[in-house]
Amino acid sequence: MDLARSEVAARGRRRQAAARLALMAGPVAFFAVFFAYPVLAIVGRGLKDGDGWHLARIGQVLADSGVRHVLWFTTWQALVSTALTLLIALPGAYVFARLDFPGKQVLRAVVTVPFVLPTVVVGTAFLALAGRGGLLDELWGVRLDTTVWAILLAHVFFNYAVVVRTVGGLWAQLDPRQEEAARMLGASRPAAWRTVTLPALAPAVAAAALMVFLFTFTSFGVVQILGGPTFATLEVEIYRQTADVFDLSTAAVLTMIQFVAVGAVLAVHAWTVRRRETALRLVDASLTARRPRGAGQWALLAGVLGTVAVLLVLPLAVLVERSLDAPGFASYRALTSADSGVFLVPPIEAIGISLQYAAAATVIAVVIGGLAATALTRRDAGRLVRGFDALLMLPLGVSAVTVGFGFLIALDEPPLDLRSSWILVPLAQALVGVPFVVRTMLPVLRAVDTRLREAAAVLGASPWRVWREVDLPLVRRALLVAAGFAFAVSLGEFGATVFIARPDSPTLPVAVARLLGRPGETNYGQAMALSTILMVVCAVALLVLERLRTDRTGEF
Amino acid sequence: MSITKKATILAVGLGLVTLSACGSSGGGGESGDSRTVTLVSHDSWAASKEVIAAFEKESGYRVKVLKDGDAGQAVNKAILTKDNPQGDVFFGIDNTLLSRALDNGLFQPYEAKDADRVKPEYRADQGRHRVTPVDTGDICVNYDKEWFSEHKLTPPASFDDLIEPRYKNLLVTENAATSSPGLGFLLGTAARYGDGWPEYWKKLKANGVKVVDGWEQAYNEEFSGSAAGRKAKADRPLVVSYASSPPAEVIYADPRPDTAPTGIVPGTCFRQVEYAGLLSNAKNPEGGKALLDFLIGKRFQDDMPLNMFVYPVRDDAKVPADFARFGPQAENPQTMDPDEIAGHRDEWVKSWTSLVLK
């Protein structure tokens, strides 16, 4: 009897291992064909000619002072952006975690909107705020465009939510009684905070900082619009070397440098995440927040609200205001005519095209990401699976620009001649969406009690049936949230899309960037109007998600 | 729970609808039929509808135009995709980038029907006829007449003048790595000063030259003499632009002034020639050849100046009077031998970048 039972369990385990490999096969194949192959193709085009690889180029490129300058600037601005973001957002994290005030839910959504906005829109908004003829220019003659400040502020704007959500989410669940116990035992307030709360928060702060570092290190759209010719991140430089200078070998080396740098950051990130999974005594977040008490807390709350108003709301408000500048919604009306000569189609059509692409990309990302997350669910996974986990994160940091170019030259032969196919853009967008899907689904899947699955398996259910009967009902909501994120990310994807979107079917961000690059007020107004539309779509998607969201410990 | 269920159904339904919608619209499919000829060009392409319609009627081909970004990027993208091009003919590669396209095998040989009517000084690639000259223009420094008369300052007349202290902080130019007028201006200085051009640029930089990424930004946001620049309260009265910019300022102004508000600095011009070619692996080579014949045909060459603000290359083309009056071609522009450009361009741009931008 016992023997038979262990036999069944062992068979179940074997079956599960086989099922896991089968689940991984899909995502692995997807990444091999649509990520590794195009990237290798474009890198190969730069570093290979008829007789083999020219690895000497790597040394030459690294020795180039211009390249070193770009490397230095990329690292420097990412570090400063990260430090600034932490400095500005940590008080916000505290306020969201520990204070209770009316309108808190709305505010939480408001601070998250920037994170899902397309980089192009953010660039445009800061241009409207601090560029030539922008709000600050009109008020005080201050112009920050083509200075590094515009870039840094835009980065803080973008990543404020990352810190608030990652750190605030954990902070809200830390048991305040532990700190109180330390106070009872005679520790001063700062000492209690330093010895009890800070160590518990440190991994979350580190993880948030690394995420922000990663996003700013690989920043493209923001720097492309605000940087002018002087400032370039690696990602912008890769784009310029390929699209403008046509120096493919330099671009290839830069891609490799970025790959190594991002790989290192991701490795550290994975390590902090594992550290974070150490047991903390967590309590329900709704129990820890209180109404503000004392002048200090009220001042802090006011400070955070002020920061949010100036840094996050104002740029977007200026954007909307600029789009309405022309009387009688003229900028919006202009979007319906193709006369501007920028595209073959009226810019308004870019909205429909974008939504179609993003929906297709969402379907792809949810399928691939869902399979991957399911394969990664069990905690006792071996090294192989952990490597797989890291692999899934890579598209977050490997140059999207490179992926776009790779698509252009790699996927042009049957059976994969996709270059003239509309699916090319959604595929590129889905690559960026998958990591978000995995990060959103994984914590929820892992929270499902394994014994439920085992019980079902022992009762003879197939792995598919187990998933359908046990996992799916529990994760349906997370799946929707993941889909929403993938949708927003796809909608705003710019780096890969900018080069593969065809002139007769531009996506919204590409249309905005093109309009910004053309002379005349009507084009500027149209860029602002399109950006506003894009912002509204993203914000609505996000607000719907906020309603659906249950679990607040996820990464994003 | 029921809301979630509805949302799930909605999401799945949306996905399916979208997929089917995409499947049917095929967002930008290939025009594989032999009755369509596709022209790939840069954003500045423009032609009168009547002229295109006449070509379509005579040849029986339908013309489709893909504007693929600014000049340099359109060329590079065409090279990247040359094994499986996006069209049949590429128009808009100029003499500053020509060697890059030829070295990378972008075009196949075809001698257009009226190739012998092209003025000799514009012909290129004589041995193999991989490209056909279509238009020409000069890249020159433009000045804002009103600004200089207000400040009682004589406008500069040459490259040498631009490094004089009295013109400090007045000039805006484009990034030579990303913009064709920017590159033309750099080549102009290299033609004028030979190996001494880096010295010249060091002085120019010390004299406060401002560099922006593209022509639109330089001309419409930084240059005080253009209509858009006046609106934007731009503050630089000297800009690297084209000899045809002053007539454009007149023709597009309402009401029309008698004289152009801007002028060109005669000693700073560099002659640019734009070519078109039949793309290697074009899907409709016959249509492409007909289109190339049309591009240097008299009808298109006469129509071109007021659409793209360039000069025709045919010896018998007529230039509209207004155009010639406000924007005569430069007297003695700097020119450079194509081989010289081919041999040095990339290294010059590299040195220029580290010298001026870093």
Better-predicted residue by pLDDT, A404 or B5: A404
Q: By three-state DSSP, how is residue B144 classified?
A: strand
Task: Note the pLDDT of residue A411.
Answer: 78
What pLDDT does residue A384 have? 67
pLDDT > 70? residue A429: yes
Using CA atoms, how far residue A51 sits from A59, A439, A441, B103, in Å, is 19, 43, 46, 18
The answer, yes or no, to whether residue B27 has pLDDT greater than 70, is: no
The confidence band for A72, taking pLDDT boundaries of 50, 70 and 90, is: very high
Contacts 24+ apart (CB under 8 A), B75-80: B75/B100, B75/B101, B75/B106, B76/A242, B76/A243, B76/A244, B76/A246, B77/A243, B77/A408, B77/A499, B78/B40, B78/B106, B78/B279, B79/A246, B79/B104, B79/B106, B80/A242, B80/A405, B80/A408, B80/A409
Res. B339 pLDDT band, cuts 50 70 90 = confident
* B177 vs A69, A240, A355: nearest CB: A240
Residue of B nearest to A246 (CA): B76
**Measured between CB atoms, does B81 come within 8 Å of chain A?**
yes
Q: Is the dihedral of CA B78, B80, B83, B86 positive or negative?
A: negative
The arithmetic mean of pLDDT across residues A211-222, rounded, is 88
Q: Which of B26, B177, B221 sits opposite A422 (nearest CB)?
A: B26
Q: Which amino acid is at A5?
A: R
**Inter-residue contact A389 to A270 (CB < 8 Å):** yes
B358 chain-A contacts, CB cut-off 8 A: 65-66, 69
Token look-up 């009808």 returns: B299
The separation between the first and the last C-alpha atoms of chain B, rounded to the nearest angstrom, is 59
A174 vs A372 pLDDT, higher one: A372
The answer to whether A504 faces chain B, any CB pair under 8 Å, is yes
**Interatomic CA distance for residues A47 and A52, integer angstroms:** 8
CA A247 to the chain's CA centroid: 29
B14–A360 C-beta distance less than 8 A: no
Q: Which of A420, A423, A549 to mutate to test the interface with B (most CBs of B within 10 A)?
A: A420
Closest CB to B354: pick one of A66, A359, A502. A66
d(CA A142, CA A138): 8
Instruction: Please tell me the least confidently modeled range out of A43-57, A64-78, B145-159.
Output: A43-57
Q: Is the pLDDT of residue B26 over 50?
A: no
Query: In this predicted structure, what is the pLDDT of residue A519?
Result: 60
**Cβ <8 Å between B19 and A480:** no
- What's the confidence (pLDDT) of residue B10? 43
pLDDT level of residue B25 (50, 70, 90 thresholds): very low
Band (pLDDT 50/70/90 cuts) for residue A548 is low
Question: pTM score, two decimals?
Answer: 0.83
Summarize the confidence of residues B113-134 as an average pLDDT: 91
Contacts of B98 (CB under 8 A, 6+ apart): B124, B125, B131, B275, B338, B341, B342
Instruction: Check A412 against B83: CB less than 8 A apart.
Output: yes
Confidence of residue A281 (pLDDT cuts 50, 70, 90): low
Q: What is the mean pLDDT of residues A274-290?
A: 63
Q: Tens digits of per-residue pLDDT, A375-392?
A: 887 655 566 666 777 777
Instruction: Say whether A451 sits in a helix, a strand or coil.
Output: helix
Judged by CB atoms closer than 8 Å, whether chains meet at B28 and A422 is answered as: yes
Structure tokens at B187: 């080549």
Measure the CA–CA gap between A275 and A207, rounded to whole angstroms: 10
Question: Among all residues of chain A, which has the CA nearest to that of B18?
Answer: A356
> Which of A247, A405, A480 minimises the CB distance to B80?
A405
Q: Which CATH number fits domain B7-137+273-326: 3.40.50.2020, 3.40.190.10, 1.10.630.10, 3.40.50.720?
A: 3.40.190.10
List of chain A residues whose C-beta atoms are within 8 Å of the C-beta of residue B73: 243-244
Closest chain B residue to A131 measured between Cα atoms?
A: B221
Query: Which of B9, B22, B220 would you mutate first to test chain A, the one with the most A CBs within 10 A?
Result: B22
d(CA A420, CA B283): 13
Q: State the smallest CA–CA distance between residue A75 and chain B in angstroms.
A: 16
Q: Does domain B138-270+330-356 have CATH number 3.40.50.12280?
A: no
Q: Where in chain B is the domain with CATH 3.40.190.10?
A: 7-137+273-326, 138-270+330-356
Q: What is the pLDDT of residue B118?
A: 93
What pLDDT score was predicted for residue A549? 60
B219-241 pLDDT, tens digit each: 988 899 988 788 777 889 999 99
Interface of B with A in 1-20 (CB under 8 A): 4, 7-8, 11, 14-15, 18-19
Asked if the model's pLDDT at residue B242 lies above 70, the reply is yes
Task: Give the per-residue pLDDT at A1.
Answer: 53
Rounded CA gap, A273 and A286, in Å? Answer: 24
Taking a contact as any Cβ pair under 8 Å apart, which residues of chain A between 460 and 489 contact chain B? 476-477, 479-480, 483
pLDDT given at position B260: 86
Q: A245 and B232 in contact by Cβ < 8 A?
A: no
**Least confident stretch, A14-23, A501-510, B89-98, B243-252:** A14-23
Alpha-carbon distance of A438 to A450, in angstroms, equals: 19
Structure confidence at residue B332 (pLDDT): 87
Which residue is closest to A41 within chain B, CA to CA?
B80
- CB distance from B43 to chain A under 8 Å? yes
Handedness of CA B89, B93, B95, B99 (dihedral sign): negative
Q: Does A446 touch chain B (CB under 8 A)?
A: no
Least confident span in A235-239, B54-58, B290-294: A235-239
pLDDT for residue A478: 78
CB contact under 8 A, A362 and B81: no
Does B335 touch chain A if contact means CB atoms closer than 8 Å?
no
Of A151-160, A366-375, B12-21, B177-186, the one with minimum mean pLDDT is B12-21
Q: What is the pLDDT of residue B133?
A: 96
Question: What is the predicted pLDDT for the residue at B141?
Answer: 96
pLDDT value of position A286: 67
d(CA B226, CA B218): 10
Interface of A with B in 363-402 (CB under 8 A): 363
**Which residues of B are less than 8 Å from A344 in CB distance?**
65-67
pLDDT at A367: 92
The whole-number average pLDDT for the span B113-129 is 90
CB contact under 8 A, A356 and B18: yes
Q: Which two tokens stand for residue B345?
A: 């361009």
Contact B274, B304 (CB under 8 A): no
In chain A, % of residues over pLDDT 70: 87
Nearest CA in chain A to B175: A229
**A166 pLDDT higher than 50:** yes
Query: What's the CA gap between A266 and A215, in Å, rounded?
Result: 11
User: What mean pLDDT comes out for the span B186-192?
Assistant: 96
Identify all chain A residues contacting B7, using CB atoms and an 8 Å cutoff. Answer: 480, 548
**B145: helix, strand or coil:** helix
d(CA A189, CA A182): 9
Q: Tens digits of per-residue pLDDT, A252-279?
A: 899 888 888 888 888 887 776 666 555 5
Query: Region A231-243: what's the mean pLDDT?
Result: 89
Contact A422 B68 (CB under 8 A): no
* B346 → chain A, closest CA residue: A245
Place of tokens 């005349």: A520
pLDDT at B122: 92
Give chain A positions within 8 Å (CB) of B15.
359-360, 362-363
A122 HSE (CA, 13 A, CB side): 30
**Closest in A245, A408, A479 to B81, CB measured:** A408
A244:B221 CB<8 A: no
- Check pLDDT > 80 for residue B327: no
Question: Is it the case that residue A42 has pLDDT exceeding 60?
Answer: yes
Higher per-residue confidence, A550 vs B95: B95
Chain A CB contacts of B353 under 8 Å are 66
Contact yes or no for A492/A501 (Cβ under 8 A) = no
Q: What is the residue-wise DSSP string for A320-342?
A: HHHHT-SGGGHHHHHTT-STTSS
Tokens of B163: 């490094």
Q: What pLDDT is attached to residue B280?
A: 94
B18–A355 CB contact, under 8 Å: yes
Handedness of CA A552, A556, B3, B6 (dihedral sign): negative
Q: Please answer yes or no on whether B4 and A521 come within 8 Å at the CB atom.
A: no
Neighbours of B159 (CB within 10 A): 21
Does residue B1 or residue B217 have the better pLDDT?
Answer: B217
What does DSSP say about strands B36-41 and B210-212: parallel, antiparallel, or unpaired?
A: unpaired
The continuous run of DSSP H or E covering A161 comes out as: helix A148-171
Q: Which has the closest alpha carbon to B39: B90, B110, B76? A: B90
Q: Which residue has the tokens 């952006």?
A: A81
Q: Any CB–CB contact under 8 A between A230 and chain B?
A: yes
Q: Would you state the structure tokens that stand for residue A530, as one six-digit string? A: 């399109």
So what's the pLDDT on residue A518?
66
CB contact under 8 A, A353 and B70: no
How many angstroms separate the CA atoms of A467 and A513, rounded? 44
- Give strand pairing partners of B312: B135
B65 CB neighbours in chain A (<8 A) are: 344
Give residue B223's region: left, alpha or beta (phi > 0; psi -120 to 50). Answer: beta
Confidence category of residue B153, pLDDT binned at 50, 70, 90: very high
Q: Which of B22, B28, B211 sits opposite A504 (nearest CB)?
A: B28
- pLDDT of B140: 95
What CA–CA distances, in Å, run from A180 to A98, A177, A184, A196, A287? 14, 5, 6, 10, 15
A43 has a pLDDT exceeding 50:
yes
Residue A448 has pLDDT above 80, yes or no: no
What DSSP state is assigned to residue A286? G
**First-to-last C-alpha distance (Å) of chain A:** 48
Backbone angles phi, psi at B134, to 5 degrees: -120, -45
Interface with chain B: mutation pick from A244, A425, A491, highest number of B CBs within 10 Å: A244
Residue found under tokens 């202009």: A334
Report chain B's mean pLDDT, rounded to a whole number.
86
Q: In the predicted model, is pLDDT for residue A469 greater than 90?
A: no
The beta strands (E) that lie in A370-498 are given as 412-413, 416-417
Task: Give the residue with greater pLDDT, A425 vs A552.
Answer: A425
Between CA B319 and CA B325 the distance in angstroms is: 10
Pairing of strands B238-242, B132-144: antiparallel
